[in-house]
Chains A and B, each alone.
Chain A
Amino acid sequence: MQKIVWALVVLLLILHQDLWFWEDDTLVFGFMPIGLFYHACISVAASVTWFLATRHCWPAGLEANAEAASGEGSP
């Protein structure tokens, strides 16, 4: 699953370069330029992807290590 989530992040970065809507003047719902609507969808997709990342790619043991070793000393 981790690999799929990171693949989704890469896919988002690729989909962000939407050359296909560059000169398209279609209005979605009759008022929203498709170039803007598409990128608003990218924002939503980013949120969903990061949700999956927090569920499946969250580094394990981070908290325990930090807490256990906190106070070892400061520089």
Chain B
Amino acid sequence: MTLSPLLAEAPLLLAEGLKPGQTQLVIISGYLGLLLLLGLFASRFFSGSKSDYQLASHSIGPLLLLMSLFGTTMTAFALVGSSGEAFKEGIGVYGMLASSSGIIHSLCFFLIGVKVWALARRHGYTTQVQFFRDRLESDKIGLLLFPILVGLVIPYLLIGVMASGTVIQNMTAGAFPDLFPTPEKPPTNGGVPPWIGSLVVCLVVLSYVFFGGMRGTAWANALQTTVFMILGVVTFVVIANKLGGEESLFANLEKLGGALDDSKATRVEMSRTKFFTYMLIPLSVGMFPHLFQHWLTAKSAGAFKLPVVAHPLFIMIVWVPCVLVGVWATTDLASIPPPVAGNPNSVLPFMVKKLTSPELGGFLAAGILAAIMSSLDSQFLCLGTMFSTDVVNHYRKQPLSDRGQVLATRGFIIAIVAVTYALSLSNNRSVFALAVWCFSGFSSLFPMVFAAVYWRGLTKAGAYASVIAAAGTWVYLFAQSDWGQNRTYALELPLGGSAYEIMPVAAMFAASTAALVVVSLVTTKPSDATLGKFFAAKN
């Protein structure tokens, strides 16, 4: 490998004479500027119609769809969280979070995405709520689903906005010690404060989503996905070489592998049943409203084939290096200081700062921001589309014109960005604990979307019962976990004299499935006209 010495030793011209942290700031600023330009360029292709703004006129081909779907499903957690969790739990996190997602995400794209795409093209849906209102012959299902979907997306958005501010502050530490001193927290002294970093990221995402709509979002996602995948691998090689200190990459890998403790190289400390029930979490992608909207952008059903096949490989390319870096950080070769060890999410940024050049640090910061922004943009656009379509347009006596709907969507996007940014200023770090609960909530709604597409017997009452059961168990279990403060909260399943730990999502999923099936079996079936719209005629 000759890449790492090049990156580590060849200083960029622009970095010469800059203070620590300023090099990173220049690179981050350059990257954000590039995204702005991309958004403005995408807006030149905007036809002015609602379909073009919200769904890129169904013009997205296989490669762009793959990059959009992958970029949207991978958040900052893919880079920072994966190494942090591996630092804490060992290599088992790959099986728990990554290989399971490789199977289940593609399963959702294949079984739900393709089918929903065809139904939406046939009947003109833009949002999930439109689909369910029609399938269930119930206008009111929108009133039940809309707040739940929005309520589950907003914490997810907040995590991204807050994480972006934290990343920028950490990576630019030392840039302006007089302007932004943080004597109470020396590692971030002189770094750009989170309120500025988050604001700039919000404004950049807002700009390219506002002007470029779904096309700008898809293009930006493709760029961002490429950026964070390449930087993840480059960082891995540089860190391996620096930590190992041997002559070749392979010798370094062997040295680092040999230094691993059994507790991190195996899963001795991981609960087997928790690992098993974690399989339900990736089902959340079947109900993510922002992913639903991305599915509808596909040019054809065939465009789904590449994402279905390549998604597991893309996850592997990003996660395997990050998990290895995370477990290497536990060895004596890394010597992670206790304050960093106390916050596993800071392990990767710390190692990058300690072991690589400011240039690579700047590029990695851009890569982490890319992973964050490639989810934020889709979520902002999706919420704007839902508000304008499912609330404003749906309840107006006279539907808005195409131009009016684009204006309404843009207006709501500005409002959502403003509200999310304002909420992020409360600096309530407990929102990070919500991530797995958000995913669990979406997963527990999965039985409804699956039944809506594949089971003629799903009734309106069955769907209501399923949503209420999912929401009820979610609130109850969330309260039991001290509103997410107990990060290791699990249920205990007594079986054969032993107690087995299971993830809360298993109970939510079981409750929503049971409610859906039982109530659907005893209530009135949908009309033949509706079944004819959604299912092929019986022979």
Task: Decide whether A and B assemble into one complex.
Answer: yes
Contact of B98 among A32, A39, A44 (CB under 8 A): A39
Contact with B along A27-60 (1 / 0, CB 8 A): 1011111011011101110110011011000110
Contact of A69 among B107, B122, B130, B272 (CB under 8 A): B122
CB distance from A64 to the nearest CB of B (A): 10
Contact of A9 among B99, B107, B250, B327 (CB under 8 A): B107
A40 adjacent to B320 (CB under 8 Å): yes
B265 adjacent to A25 (CB under 8 Å): yes
B276 adjacent to A65 (CB under 8 Å): no
A66 adjacent to B118 (CB under 8 Å): yes
Q: Does B181 contact A (CB under 8 A)?
A: no
Cα A38 to Cα B92 with chains together (Å): 11
A13 adjacent to B103 (CB under 8 Å): yes
Contact of B267 among A23, A27, A47, A51 (CB under 8 A): A23
Contact of B268 among A23, A39, A73 (CB under 8 A): A23
Q: Does B433 contact A (CB under 8 A)?
A: no
Q: Which B residues touch A63, using CB under 8 A?
A: 118, 300-302
A35 adjacent to B266 (CB under 8 Å): yes
Q: Which A residues touch B100, using CB under 8 A?
A: 16
Cα A21 to Cα B91 with chains together (Å): 12
Beta-carbon contacts under 8 Å, B89-122 to A: 91-92, 94-95, 98-100, 102-103, 106-107, 110, 114-115, 117-119, 121-122
B309 adjacent to A51 (CB under 8 Å): yes
A16 adjacent to B103 (CB under 8 Å): yes
Which B residue sits closest to A74, measured CB to CB? Answer: B124
A31 adjacent to B313 (CB under 8 Å): no
Contact of A25 among B99, B122, B262 (CB under 8 A): B262
Cα A31 to Cα B325 with chains together (Å): 12
Which B residue sits closest to A73, measured CB to CB? Answer: B124
In the complex, which of the residues A13, A32, A62, A69 has the most CB atoms of chain B within 10 Å of its own CB atom? A62
In the complex, which of the residues A33, A43, A51, A54 has the most CB atoms of chain B within 10 Å of its own CB atom? A43
CB distance from A22 to the nearest CB of B (A): 5
Cα A24 to Cα B267 with chains together (Å): 8
CB distance from B363 to the nearest CB of A (A): 25
Q: Does B308 contact A (CB under 8 A)?
A: yes
Query: A33-B266, A72-B122 provided; 11 other pairs, C-beta below 8 A?
Result: A17-B276, A35-B94, A43-B98, A43-B102, A43-B315, A46-B106, A50-B110, A66-B118, A71-B124, A74-B125, A75-B134
- Chain B positions within 8 Å of A, measured between CB atoms, are 91-92, 94-95, 98-100, 102-103, 106-107, 110, 114-115, 117-119, 121-125, 130, 133-134, 250, 253-254, 256-258, 260, 262, 265-268, 270, 272, 275-276, 279, 300-302, 305, 308-313, 315-316, 320, 323-324, 327
- Chain A positions within 8 Å of B, measured between CB atoms, are 9, 12-13, 16-19, 22-25, 27, 29-33, 35-36, 38-40, 42-44, 46-47, 50-51, 53-54, 58-59, 62-63, 65-67, 69-75
